[in-house]
Amino acid sequence: MAAILVSAIDHLNRYVIAGLALSAVITVYSVYHVIYNLFFSPIAGFPGPKLAAATGWVEFYHDYFKQGAYIYEIEKMHKKYGPIVRINPEELSLHDPTFYNEIYCIESKRRTDNYNHFGKGIDFDDHEAHRRRRKPLEPYFSRKGVMQLEKSVLHETVGKLEKRLQALEGTGNVVRLDYAFTAYTGDVIGKVCCEDREEFLEDPEFAPYWYELLHSIIKSIPLFMGLPWIINIVNLIPESVITWADPRSKKMIEYKQLTNRHIEVAKSQKLHGTESKSEKPSLLRYLVNSDLPESELSVERLSKEAQVLLGAGTVSTARTLDFICYYILANKDIQAKLQNELRDIMADYPQQIPSFVQLEKLPYLTSLIKEGLRLSFGNMHRLPRVSPDVAIQYKQWTIPPGVPVGMSAYLQHVDPVAYENPFKFDPDRWMGEPSPLLARNYVPFTRGSRNCLGMNLAYAEMYLALAVLFRPGGPNFQLFETDESDIIQVHDFLLPLPRLDSKGMRVTIRSHDEK
C-alpha cells in the first residue's frame, strides 16, 4: 500500500514539475515579449502609454470586457500624447485630418496592404491580390453599374419595403424599422450577388432572426480580434453543430449553399456557352465570366466574397437609415423641409421612380444623408494600413515599413475644428457653401485604393429609401418609445452599435387622417 502511495506521489510530482516548467516557459516568453515591445520594437520610441505598448491585453480588455470602448481610450491618448500614439504593441494611431490622404492613399502613390486584425483566421489580401480582385468589381459597383441595378433590384426592393410598411398603416402594430431596413439592405445585396434567393422582406416580422444573427456576430468581433485562433476552431466545427447551437445561423448557411449553387451553375453555363444574356447579371455570374484567373474563381473563394458582401453591405447601410429616420421623425422641421423638397420629384410615384442620380441633386436630402453618415460613422473602428515597401514621414516621426497605422472615422467626424457642436445632428451645416473642413474630415467610406467598393450602391439604397418613405403621402411614421439613446453609436465592435439594451428603432404607422 505504501509503495502504491509513493508511486502516486511520484507521478503527481512529475505533473507538478511539468506544470511549473510550462509556467516558467510561458512567463519567460511573456517577459521577453514585454521587454522587446518596450525597448526593441521598431516603434518603441513613439509616444503612448507603456502598458498598451507592452501588451495587447489592454486593448482586449477595453474592447471585449468593456464592450467596444477602446476607441475612447485612444481618443484620450491623443489628447494626452499628441497626434500620433502607439496604441498596442504593433500599431500606431494617427489623428491629423490633414494627413489622412497620406495614410489612405491612391495606388499610384505607393503600395498599401491591409492590416489583418484577425491573424490567419480570415483572408485579408495584400496589395497585389487586392488590386487583382478589385479591378473586375469596380465597373460593377461604379455609378453606371449601380444605375443598371436600379430597375431590376433597387426599385423593386424599395417598392416592396414601402408596400409592407403601408400595409401596417392604422393597425397600431409596433414596427421595428431597424429590422425592416436590415431586411431591405439584405435583400438588395442578396439579389445583387445571386438573382434568385429567399427574401427577408417576405417575413411577416421583417426577419428579426437575420438582424439578431448579424448583430451577434458584430458583438463577437472583439473576441475574434483579441484571440484570433478561435476563428480556426470555429472553422472546424461542422455546420450541423453550429445550427444546433444557434438556429439563427441556418440562414447564413443556406445563403452559402445558394451562392455555391449559383456559382456552379454560372461556371457550367460558361463552360457550355449558355451564359445568361441579362442586361445586368448577378455579381457572381459577372465574376465567373470576368478576366480573373481560374485560381480566383473557385466556388469557395467566390462564396466567401458573397458572404462578406452580404454582412458588410447589410448592417452599415441599415444602421445609417435607422439613424437618419430617427432625426427626421424626432424633428418636425427636418421632416417638413424634406417632404417639401420631395414633393415635385416624387409626385408621380410609383408610376415613375426617380433615379438616385436625380435624387442626389436634391440639396436637403443630400445634406441629411451626409449628416447621417457623419454621425453613424460608417466604420467607427480605425482601419489600419501598412506601407510594405517605404517608410512614411509624419512631421518628425518616421514610421517604418510594415508598421500598421490607422485613423478613425469617429475622431475625424467629431472633430470640433471641422464641425461646430460636432455631436449635434444638423443637416443645415452642409447646405449652401459649407467650410472645406467638413469635406476634408468626412470619410465614412475611407479613401484611397482600398475605399469602400460598395459606396455607390449604399448611396443609391439610402437615397431611394428615404425619398420613397418620406415623400408626401408616404407612410405616416410615429416614434414609439424610442429616443436618441436608441440610435447613437456608442460601442465600437469594428462596426458601431448603440447601447446594447436598446429595444431598437420602433415606430407605429398611423393613417393620414389620424391626428
- pLDDT tens for 381-433 read 888 999 988 999 999 999 999 999 999 999 999 999 999 999 999 999 999 99
State the pLDDT at residue 294: 84
pLDDT in tens, 206-256: 999 999 999 999 999 999 999 988 888 888 888 888 888 888 788 788 888
Rounded Cα–Cα distance for residues 314 and 320 (Å):
10
* Of 468, 478, 225, residue with least CA distance to 332: 478
- pLDDT average, residue stretch 41-49: 95
CB count in 10 Å sphere of residue 301: 16
Please state the rounded mean pLDDT for residues 184-203.
88
Which helix (H) or strand (E) covers residue 451, if one does? none
Q: What is the pLDDT of residue 231?
A: 84
Would you tell me how many other CB atoms lie within 10 Å of the CB of residue 277? 6
Per-residue HEC secondary structure of 271-327 comes to HHCCCCCCCCCCHHHHHHCCCCCHHHCCHHHHHHHHHHHHHHHHHHHHHHHHHHHHH
| Whether residue 121 has pLDDT greater than 50 | no
Listed in sequence order, the residues at least 6 apart from 210 whose beta carbon sits closer than 8 Å to its beta carbon are 182, 183, 186, 200, 248, 251
Annotated binding site: 452
Confidence band for 288, pLDDT divided at 50, 70 and 90:
confident
Query: For residues 45 and 31, what is the distance between their CA atoms, to the nearest angstrom?
Result: 19
pTM: 0.91
How is domain 91-510 classified at the architecture level of CATH?
Orthogonal Bundle (1.10)
Report pLDDT for 463.
98
Q: Which residues contact 481 (CB under 8 A, 6 or more apart)?
A: 503, 506
* Half-sphere exposure of residue 68: CA atoms within 13 angstroms, side-chain side: 21
Give residue 122's pLDDT band: very low, low, confident or very high (50, 70, 90): very low
Q: What is the pLDDT of residue 123?
A: 45
Question: Residue ranges of the domains in the chain?
Answer: 2-40, 91-510
What mean pLDDT is reported for the chain? 88
Express as a percent the part of the chain with pLDDT over 70: 90
Task: Report whether pLDDT(167) > 80.
Answer: yes
pLDDT at 271 over 80: no
pLDDT at 128: 73
Tens of pLDDT, residues 307-343: 888 888 899 999 999 999 999 999 999 999 999 999 9
Q: What residue type is assigned to position 83 of the chain?
A: P
Q: How do 397-399 and 84-86 pair as beta strands?
A: unpaired
The alpha-carbon radius of gyration of the chain (Å, integer) is 25
Q: Which residues are annotated as a binding site for heme?
A: 452
Local confidence band at 264 (pLDDT 50, 70, 90 cut-offs): confident
**Side-chain half-sphere exposure of 54, counting CA atoms within 13 A:** 9
In the chain, the amino acid numbered 51 is: L
Q: In whole angstroms, how far apart are CA 336 and each of 333, 339, 363, 364?
A: 5, 5, 14, 11
Given a contact cutoff of 8 angstroms between Cβ atoms, the answer to whether 85 and 46 are in contact is yes
